Amino acid sequence: MPLLPATPLSCNNAARLQNHPTHAVVVGGGYIGVEVAENLIHRGLQVDIVERLGQIMATIDHEMARDLQYHLIDQGIDLHLDTAVAGFEAVDGRVQVALSDGTHLTADLVILAVGVRPNTELAVKAGLPVGSRGGLKIDNHMRTVDPDIYAIGDMVETEHTITRQPILAALAGPANRQGRIAADNICGKSSTYESTQGTAIVKIFEMVGGGTGASEQMLRQANIPYRKIYLHPAGHATYYPGTAAMHIKVLFQPDDGKLLGAQVVGFDGVDKRIDLFAIALRSGLTVFDLENLELPYAPPFGSAKDPINMAGFLGANLLRGDHLLWYAEDYPEHTQDGLIVDVRTPKEYDEWHIPGAINMPLNTVRDRYTELPKDTPLFVYCRVGFRGYLAYRILVQKGFQVLNLSGGVLTFSSFHPTGYSTGQANYPFVAHAEDQMAEQILAASAG
């Protein structure tokens, strides 16, 4: 990172600034960067975020981060992804920020939020070994190789709960637990630190996102086999005001369904579900266990089938072979040898559909299924997956080869930017509405 011109601000002198900036550039799209950007927008500044990766929030997978990116754009923030800072230059009392794509931004204020790295210089001089990620090596008592020296927090490498690989986790929760464990051992009480599962959350304007355990990218890098599901349940009963849908992604082992990771993005009830997934993952629960969790229900707080239960239903159905799925990343390469069938209404199809798809609304499937080929796979989809599931069941019973798009158009649009997104406030986004629509269609079809 090139040096900034002028004198860096500190907490002590920032409040004494006499000028009033109007344009800020935030370098870094992690937790701190997006939170700072939000607060600058609230102060009336124009804000650009520059992130060298292809997404913000690198701890979650890109299709989940994209929902948050849509929301930032809706709030007036300009995102520069896959872009690094090439240099800074003082120009007429302002800072010109040169980007790697040739863009030049002129700002009154530049904030570097590019993360932290352990400063191990003193430790190395003391003969303490550093691990592969750049943090101090410790045992599970928080001791270094010198039994009289303990280390905790952002300075140390710990083992990831799922991948069992060393990680640097700049998180307050683990750091506090490590401090308690170190103190126990210093005082003669044997206490151990198990692992870090990386549970984290962020609020960006009205939207919340976060997760626990391993991301799909982490599982791939660690060569850990997995299965996954997406769903879009509401935060609480939709007939009670104040809710919105979430985008949930759950990763689990393909043999026994043990949880490997979960990510949640949305507007209502996100924190509670991340908490529950974190507890379930730490406890070694499976998607089959999630089916049977008894969670509190009242309309202001949840649904009779809580999103956690729904995630269990979907994951268990997949592993039992009751419901076969296809995914957004399968398109177009792995769908070319089949037929893509959109079972939404003609109006929804006309507004936008996956290129190459035909339209066969759910209420017509029983009458028109003979139009479909039996010698080729059918890739069905709807908006969130529910109508697709009903069409799947009808067609499987008729002898067709069928797969249903996990997460429907909404997940597809987070994976492939299409104009649909969970961040669009003007687009109705309640899974319960789809449930009602499907029930009405099936009732009319049966009649």
Under 8 Å between Cβ of 158 and 195: yes
Residue 439 belongs to what H/E stretch? Answer: helix 431-446
Half-sphere exposure of 162 (CA within 13 A, CB side): 32
Q: Which residues are catalytic?
A: 382
Distance CA 319, CA 208 (A): 30
Give the contacts of 135 (CB within 8 A, at least 6 positions apart): 118, 120, 154, 155, 156, 157, 166, 168
Q: Which residues pair with 212 in a beta bridge?
A: 262
To the nearest 10°, report the CA torsion of 48, 49, 51, 57: -160
DSSP class of 335: G
Under 8 Å between Cβ of 154 and 168: yes
Prior bond to 8 cis, omega within 30?
no
- For helices 307-320 and 270-282, the axis angle rounded to 10 degrees is 50
Alpha helices for 222-364 (secondary structure H): 270-282, 287-291, 307-320, 346-351
Under 8 Å between Cβ of 195 and 173: no
Report which of 34, 64, 404, 30 is spatially closest to residue 261, judged by C-alpha positions: 64
Order of strands, sheet of 259-266, starting from the edge strand that comes earlier in the sequence: 200-204, 207-213, 259-266, 246-252, 227-231
DSSP class of 153: G
CA 423 to chain centre: 13
Under 8 Å between Cβ of 268 and 246: yes
| b/e sequence 76-114, b meaning 16+ C-beta within 10 Å | ebebbbebebeebeeeeebbbbbbeeeeebebbbbbbbb
Under 8 Å between Cβ of 102 and 108: no
- Phi, psi torsion values for 248, nearest 5 degrees: -115, 135
Under 8 Å between Cβ of 152 and 135: no
The string of DSSP letters for 395-430 reads HHHTT--EEEETTHHHHHHHHS--S--TT-TTS---
